[in-house]
Structure 1
């Protein structure tokens, strides 16, 4: 399946950048532009993952491995042959790890932004809390302001509400959600339960490294110890939360370079 995507940079080092759950490729545009300016060798491909943004809907029983295959199909459709570098935030990082296991011929390296290889406990999943509120919201509203009020009235912060509103489609009768919320909820439970430690701990895997936000709970100290022991270095950014590329873009950019 070929996904909706856009590119930044025209270099000869192909790199795919993958957003997190409920996001789109646009979430990483600012980081991609800064990285391209700092390293003109890069050719950065930013897709909307399957079921997200304006990409095709999620087929039944989609998982991390089918999503990884869709990313590879998209890269090939854009003329990217051979292995390339994978950079993923949250869900995007888990897709990258799945790719290293199931389409290793397409993976030169994996760089994880605030995500660990193990299953994500439900009480640590910020995306799960956001998803719960999203599922409670109406399918349609009169306008964006009305939908924003629905989200914030259920306890979602204004910045997160505005982020979700990027997924609204405007029609004559008002606004509606672009994505299938229930399909994403089903995907969420499947992908969070997937154990991907093999991708990091096997001897013949691609180089893998991680950067974590010190205020985030997604990569625990125990995760760090296990990743480092497996040869996956982890850099800590104390002032950053889960959206590390937003909270500390200069630090993330320096790490990427």
Structure 2
């Protein structure tokens, strides 16, 4: 399956940047643009993951490996040849690790943005809480303002609601509707949170790093210690939350540049 995508930069070094759950490739555009300017050798592919943005929907039995295969097919179709550097935030990081297991020869390195290889308890999942509100919202509304009121009325912040509203499209019968399949995403959410990706860190010769937000719960001290014991260094940005690339954009860019091998 070929995913919706766009490319930043025209350098020879193939790099894939993967967004988090309920996001799109556009979420990483600012970081990709800054990285391309700082390192012109990069060619950065930013897809909308399967079931997200304008990409095809998720199959009923969707798995991380299946989504990873779609990413690889898309990268090759876009002309990114050879081993890929893969950067992934949240769900995107888990897809990156799954890709390194699915096609080891296709992945040169993995950079994780605030995500652990281990199963994530649903109670700690910020995306799970957002998904519950999203599923409770109506399928369509008269306009974006009305849908925003639905989301904020159920407890989401204005900023988070505006981010989710990027997934609206015109409805044939008038008004706006959700572009993605909320129930398919909910089923996939439960599956991908439960997958154990620790074996990906034991592959010889695969550099894996992680940068975590000090105010985020996704990579706790226990997970950090296990990751570092497996040769995956973890850097902490004390004032950042889960969206490290937004909360501390310059620090994340410096970290990405420092990982050049």
Could you say whether these structures have the same fold, taking a TM-score greater than 0.5 normalized by the shorter chain as the test? yes
- Structure 2, unpaired ranges of 5+: none
Write out per-residue CA displacement over residues 66-94 of structure 1, whole angstroms, 9 at most, x where no aligned residue. 00000000001011122110000000000
Question: Contact (CA 8 Å) 1:100, 1:205: kept in 2 or not?
Answer: no
Structure 1: unaligned runs, 5 residues or longer: none
- Superposition pairs for residues 218-233 of structure 1, below 5 Å? 218-233=218-233
CA contact (8 A) 2:140 2:171 kept: no
What is the Cα deviation at residue 19 of structure 1?
A: 0.1
Give the secondary-structure state (helix, strand or coil) at the position aligned to 1:44: strand
Distance in 2 between residues matched to 1:4 and 1:105, nearest whole Å: 24
- Residues 126-168 of structure 1, C-alpha deviation per residue, up to 9 Å, x if partnerless? 0000000000000000000000000000001111100000000
1:80 has 2:88 as partner: no
Deviation at 1:171, TM superposition (A): 3.6
What is the 5 A alignment of 1:228-247? Answer: 228-247=228-247
Alignment CA distance shift 1:203-1:175 (3 Å): closer
> Would you say the 8 A contact 1:214–1:237 is kept in 2?
yes
Contact 1:210–1:233 (Cα < 8 Å) also in 2: yes
Deviations 1:229-251 (A, max 9, x none): 10000010001000000000000
After superposition, where does 1:114-125 map in structure 2 within 5 Å? 114-125=114-125
Give the SS at the match of 1:110: strand
Question: CA separation of 1:25/1:203 partners in 2, compared to 1, >3 Å: closer, same or farther?
Answer: closer
Q: In the aligned structure 2, how far is the partner of 1:171 from the partner of 1:138?
A: 13
Residue 174 of structure 1, CA deviation: 0.2
SS in 1 for 2:177: strand
Aligned to 2:197: 196
> Is the counterpart of residue 252 in structure 1 residue 252 in structure 2?
yes
Structural RMSD (CA): 0.8
CA distance in 1, matches of 2:250, 2:238: 13
1:84–1:109 Cα contact (<8 Å) kept = yes
Q: Which runs of 4+ in 1 moved over 2 A?
A: none
Aligned residues: 256
